[in-house]
Amino acid sequence: MADPSPASRAGLMPGDEIRSMNGQVPRDVIEYQLIADEPLVELELRRGNLDLSALVEKAAGEPLGIEVSSALFDQVRTCDNHCEFCFIYQLPKGMRKSLYLKDDDYRLSFLYGNFTTLTRFTEADLERVVDQALSPLYVSIHATDPKVRARLLRNKRGSTSLRWLRALLDAGIEVHGQVVVCPGVNDGAVLEDTLAGILDEYPELATAAVVPLGTSRFSGEEAMRPHTRAEAEAVCDSVAWFQQLFSRALGRRLVYAADEYYLLAETEFPPAESYDGFPQHENGIGMARRFELELAGALGPEEVGRGGFFKWVEGAPAEGYRAPRLGRATPLSLGRSAKPVTILTGRYGAAVIGPLLERAGYREVDVQAVENNFFGGNIGVSGLLTGSDLSRVLQELPEERRYLLPDVCLSNGVFLDGLSLADLPRPVEVVPADGLSLRRALRSVR
């Protein structure tokens, strides 16, 4: 039996509400951790209707043994932009309330890699980021032309808020940028102007990701549409040209195109070494090449995994797209069986995984692309698959197979449309969405 934690030894119980720590009221899990690292932590608690005190004695830096209920203890700083391309505006009514929350909070950028536009960033925020070295941060750039950026964000502060990006870089904060490209708005010459602007104004950026607009059938924005193949080819060409320019000027590529662009352009992905360690892997940059390395065993277990960027924070819950995929009550199944295997994945995932498995010699494995009828439009990523679409496909597939599903479809065991694994017409095995985990799950069929 494991030794009790310092918090348990001090008498804390599940459900206790922490009112203060060493006389301070932490605003978030970041401040919580800074206090929790102290060797003596005096806690003021609320347990039901009782107010209690507890003194936790431990080694400096030793975990308290407390799991907190949320990452932010005060209010989430919501987004006051009205971007035409925002996917939250493309959600149908009646989904889980949490899905409609638009955040623009630099703390969630630090904790979980969420992108912030900095339109609600303040001098006090800058002071805290610098003092506490909250790095890296992730910033939505979209355009360096002030008028174009304000138009994209539908917020006049969008024309000036990149001054905070300059201030963050001046302070030595590591920042990763993102450009969501909307055809006819910030592609073509505007995209080239943006990449040139990054070189001129923000050359200290760690990386800049160029990602495509996603449009669902619920979008009400007439100007927002999917890329054509020719437009995708043009983006790939622009990124390749600027990579060469950045390499000559800065000694590094800096800018990368999302995998989706190469799929749309029907062209080969760049080699794995072109992604410089995959720093924006979770933003769809180099996912295919990294998956290929994982599947081949070229990356070890310590190089796989997708924990939050603030992994050392005890008790920081993995919210958002990093939420626990199954929930505590549902075991992860990686059972072995002689049955043939079908992998269920999105359209883009199938385009990547199918050829890789074929080249690797997995003869008894089928890859089933599940069309996203729920969202429609150009949505083809696995992370937006719903239980209803999976049920529709599974209903037509034979029973005597193993069905594997990437965990990115789920958040705490629930699909975006509210269905769960128990609602599917066939049993499925949920596998972490990395090549190493899939390789382990397929050991019996190679």
Residue 337 pLDDT exceeds 70 = no
Is residue 138 within 8 A of residue 175, CB to CB? The reply is yes
With residue 412 as reference, give the H or E element that holds it: none
**What CATH topology corresponds to 322-445?**
Rossmann fold (3.40.50)
Q: Write down the mean pLDDT value for the chain.
A: 89
> Is the pLDDT score of 446 beyond 70?
no
Beta bridge partners of 405: 430
Query: In the CATH scheme, what is the homologous superfamily, with its name and number, of domain 6-57?
Result: PDZ domain (2.30.42.10)
**What's the confidence (pLDDT) of residue 443?**
83
Predicted pLDDT at 99: 82
Q: Which 3 state secondary structure label does DSSP give 173?
A: coil
- pLDDT attached to residue 125: 97
CA–CA dist 144, 161 (Å, integer): 11
The predicted-structure confidence for 165-202, as pLDDT tens digits, reads as follows 999 999 999 999 999 999 999 999 999 999 999 999 99
Statement: 87-283 belongs to CATH 1.10.1760: no
Q: What is the model's pTM?
A: 0.89
Residue with tokens 């080694």: 59
CB count within 10 Å of CB 38 equals: 15
Q: Is a pLDDT exceeding 90 seen at residue 230?
A: yes
Average pLDDT over residues 80-88: 91
Domain spans in the chain, listed from the N-terminal domain onward: 6-57, 87-283, 322-445
- DSSP letter string over 196-219? HHHHHH-TT-SEEEEEE----TT-
368 three-state secondary structure? strand
DSSP strand pairing (402-406 vs 341-345):
parallel
* pLDDT band at residue 69 under the 50/70/90 scheme: confident
- Listing DSSP states for 20-74 in one string gives EETTB--SBHHHHHHHHTSSEEEEEEEETTEEEEEEEE--TT-------S-SBSS
Return the higher-pLDDT residue of 287 and 298: 287
**Residue 145's pLDDT band (cuts 50, 70, 90):** very high
Q: What is the pLDDT of residue 98?
A: 80
Tell me the pLDDT tens digit for each residue of 241-265. Answer: 999 999 999 999 999 999 999 999 9
pLDDT at 308 over 90: no
Over the stretch 366-416, which tens digit does the pLDDT of each residue have? 999 999 999 999 999 999 999 999 999 999 999 989 999 999 898 888 999
DSSP assignment string, 352-366: HHHHHHHHHT-TTEE
